[in-house]
Structure 1
Amino acid sequence: MRVTAPSTGAAAASARPSTTGDAAKGSEPESVYVRSLIRSQLRLGITYAAGFVVATALFVLAIVLSPVLDASFVFGVPLSWLLLAVGVYPLAITVAVLYARAAARNEERYRALTEAE
């Protein structure tokens, strides 16, 4: 048995007017602003991701280089494991919140530029 989409949907989808042509007809400054926003958001995402990776690696390195943490136990769990489990989540949440705020600021600046015209 084979599941296929109805053939009428394909005809209906192709009958709809394309909006890509309208977007291509947009003004030159708008397209420059959009490209700038995309580059800005990409740069922001890469920066925050790299920062998270570096901070996590430094956190793990600090735990590995401290052998006292492996000798200490809390509720039968090595303290190093507990710090790793509890420490990485706040870091991830902090990076996510900071990224969301920065991305919202970028989008607000974009809106301010496009509304000014």
Structure 2
Amino acid sequence: MSGGAGADAGAGAGPGTGGADASGADAGRQRAPASTRVRITAPRQRPAPVPYGPASASIGPDSSDVQGIFVRSLIRSQLRLALVFAIGFVVATALFVTGIVLVPDLGHSYLAGVPISWLLLGFGVYPLVITVGWLYVRLANRNEARYRALSEDA
């Protein structure tokens, strides 16, 4: 902005001074009264009430225990799968790093001015991460498909 009178209007003026400039450049002109500040927010909505009955009318009183057993079984199998893959990933990464450390020639060989050991550590772990992630998702989906098949039969 330029340093004109419009740019400096109200500069240094405190509340109740009417916005008059201290230098007197706006002395002949009065400023419009300040409008009140309005805050615009999203409308307040209450969440939909949660029904406290059985999820479906076709589920009998005996099947709720069976459904609970199926859900606990699914949770246990997913936890077991996650722990196995987490431990397996840590072990595989440690073996990868140990393999790089045990081959000392990788630290002395360069590719584009960067040691090959650095390149392997920087880019060699990504295929491992992608493979472990892909396998985990595939097996987790298989567990859920088994759960769905069991819960539909019950």
Bin for the TM-score computed over the shorter chain: 0.7 to 0.9
- Return the letter of the residue paired with 1:81: W
Alignment match of 1:82 (pick from 119, 138, 153): 119
Matches within 5 A, 1:2-81: 9=45, 12-13=46-47, 16-19=48-51, 22=54, 27-81=64-118
Alignment match of 2:128 (pick from 91, 94, 110): 91
Instruction: Give the direction of change, closer, same or farther, for the CA distance of 1:113–1:74 in structure 2 (3 Å limit).
Output: same
Deviations 1:44-71 (A, max 9, x none): 0111011011100110011112111000
Give the TM-score of the pair, scaled to structure 2.
0.63
- Cα offset, 1:22, TM superposition: 3.7
- Cα offset, 1:72, TM superposition: 0.3
Number of matched residues? 111
Which residue in the other structure is 1:112 paired with? 149
Dislocated runs of 4+, deviation >6 Å: none
Q: Which runs of 5+ in 2 are unaligned?
A: 1-40, 56-60
- Cα offset, 1:20, TM superposition: 5.6
Instruction: Give the direction of change, closer, same or farther, for the CA distance of 1:20–1:54 in structure 2 (3 Å limit).
Output: farther
- Cα offset, 1:93, TM superposition: 0.1
Instruction: Using the aligned pairs only, state the percent identity.
Output: 57
Task: Answer with 1 or 2: which has the greater Rg.
Answer: 2
Q: Which runs of 5+ in 1 are unaligned?
A: none
RMSD: 2.4
- Cα offset, 1:18, TM superposition: 2.4
